[in-house]
Amino acid sequence: MNAGRILALFRRVTLEVVRDRPSLALLFIAPLVMSGLISFSIREGDTPTVDALVVNEAGIQGAVVATSLGSSIEAGGGSFEIVDSEEAARAAIEEGEASVAVILPAELTAGEAPMLTLMTNGLDPMGESTQVGQLQRSIIETTTAITGAAAPEIAHVTVYGTPSADPMSRFAPAIVAFFAYFFVYLLTGVSFLRERTGGTLERLMATPVARGEIVIGYSLGFGLMAVIQMVVLLTWALSSIEIGPVSIGLGIETAGSAVYAFLVVMLLAIGAVSLGILISTFARTELQVIQSIPLILVPQFLLSGVLFPVSSLPQILQPLVAIMPLHYAVDGLRQVFVAGADLTSVALLFNLFVLGCFAAVFALLASFTIRREVA
């Protein structure tokens, strides 16, 4: 073993890394930025405010409890309103006008331990669990102080699905959306970079083919692979085949059609294809494409409601959610999987529209950067 040759190779590799400034920046700066973002989100996150409705079925006793509970909610920055019936509360939650309803039963009388009901939407399990926890504490303190009864039992129901549903089914929208976005982006970025560094793109640019046609053609090619991946991923997620003691597939429960889930994921994937092409025009090596993941995908994972509820993020970060494609895909899949939404749902149509806009914008930017890169 020759120490001189080893030292020469060591010197060569070190010099190559030092000269690659983008890689150095991603190697040292990206981990600091990402860890700082996580720390900031956890330490400076806001407590989600509660927009509550109260259904009073307990007469005067319930009115006293409702008023006191409303004061507690408003003191925490939330809003409070008394409605006439459970049906009215359910309709308001479905329309997004309130986040939770408290139903005070007729049995709310002094000396008895009543059964109260908390109703939430069911679309955001993490965010709703925080709000339910806050309200449970306020309800227990308020009812025991006013009625003199034992602490009430509190049942949690949801407009869509059930709180006791399979945890995997509740978090499936985030999982499906993230993995679809991640792998399509990575495949497209690396593959298109090979086309560019191998000279194929430059030869195409020398022909009468327009830049937009190149982007569309590559997008269709990579998009076909993305569509196949989406079919495989959704089939795997929604299927459950028992072969002896082994279960194949995730067996995710869905209230809606897989067709609408496919539409959401397909638009997300088309946007990931265009974004992969766009980012690859700035990279010189496959490693740089991979190193872009902490800057492009990790913030979306952190800020799109996948890991933390959007309502609990620091106020300064919440506006950034609006420019995160992954957020709209997760919300769209929740609408389909949990609420059973179809193309008559305004919320689902809005998410599909925004995802389509992201795909179009990324494609236009990719077309421009291809022109700049080759010019």
**pLDDT of 334 above 50:** yes
* Statement to judge: residues 330 and 262 lie in one domain: yes
Same domain membership, residue 195 and residue 152: no
CA distances from 371 to 34, 43, 185, 302 (A): 32, 44, 21, 33
Q: Is residue 105 part of a domain?
A: yes
* pLDDT the model gives residue 178: 86
Domain membership of residue 310 (yes or no) is yes
Based on the domain organization, do 247 and 308 belong to the same domain? yes
pLDDT reading at 372 higher than 60: no
- 127 and 177 belong to one structural domain: no
Q: Residue 291: inside a domain, yes or no?
A: yes
Residue 194 covered by a domain: yes
- 207 and 123 belong to one structural domain: no
The reply to whether 7 falls in a domain is no
* 113 confidence band (pLDDT: 50, 70, 90): low
Pair 244, 362 in one domain: yes
Q: Is 3 part of a structural domain of the chain?
A: no
- Mean pLDDT for 109-132 is 74
Domain match, 176 and 289 both: yes
Mean pLDDT of 126-135: 76
Identify the band that residue 5 occupies on the pLDDT scale cut at 50, 70 and 90. low
- Structural domain of residue 282, as residue ranges? 167-374
Q: Which of 110, 138, 158 is the last residue of a domain?
A: 158
What is the C-alpha separation between 325 and 310, in angstroms, rounded?
14
Stretch 152-177: mean pLDDT: 76
Mean pLDDT of the chain: 79
Residue ending a domain, choose from 103, 134, 158: 158
pLDDT of residue 110: 54
What does the pLDDT average to over 121-125? Answer: 78
Query: 37-41, 259-263, 316-320: which range is least confident on average?
Result: 37-41
pLDDT at 187 > cutoff 50? yes
Of 342 and 285, the structure prediction assigns the larger pLDDT to 342
The confidence band for 109, taking pLDDT boundaries of 50, 70 and 90, is low
Percent of the chain predicted with pLDDT > 90: 6
Q: Tell me, what's the pLDDT at 361?
A: 92
**How confident is the model at residue 120, as a pLDDT?**
84
Q: What is the mean pLDDT of residues 107-120?
A: 72
The answer to whether 199 and 287 are in contact (CB under 8 A) is no
Return d(Cα 348, Cα 278) in angstroms, integer.
Answer: 27
Number of domains in the chain: 2
271 and 303 in a single domain? The answer is yes
Angle at 135 between CA 133 and CA 141, to 5 degrees: 110
Residue 46: its pLDDT value, please? 61
Q: Is residue 100 domain-shared with residue 188, that is, in the same domain?
A: no
> Do 201 and 347 share a structural domain?
yes
Give tens-digit pLDDT for 210-263. Answer: 777 777 887 888 888 888 888 888 888 888 777 767 777 777 778 888 889 989
pLDDT the model gives residue 209: 73
Task: Examine the domain organization and report whether 320 and 354 are in the same domain.
Answer: yes
Q: pLDDT of 271-310, one tens digit each? A: 998 898 888 888 777 777 877 887 788 888 888 877 777 7
Q: Which of 100, 123, 158 is the last residue before a domain boundary?
A: 158
pLDDT at 92: 84
Are residue 264 and residue 349 in the same domain, yes or no?
yes
292-324 burial by CB neighbour count: b if 16+ within 10 A, else e?
Answer: bbeebbbbbbbbbbbebbbbbbeeebeeebeeb
| pLDDT tens for each residue of 344-371 | 888 899 999 999 999 999 988 888 877 5
Question: Would the pLDDT of 8 be above 70?
Answer: yes
- Mean predicted confidence (pLDDT) in 113-133: 77
Q: Is residue 39 part of a domain?
A: no
CATH number of domain containing 154: 3.40.1710.10
Phi, psi of 241 (to 5 degrees): -110, 120
Residue 111, pLDDT > 60, answer no
Q: Is residue 358 part of a domain?
A: yes
Q: Which of 19, 16, 31 has its CA nearest to residue 291?
A: 31
How confident is residue 375, by pLDDT bands cut at 50, 70 and 90? very low
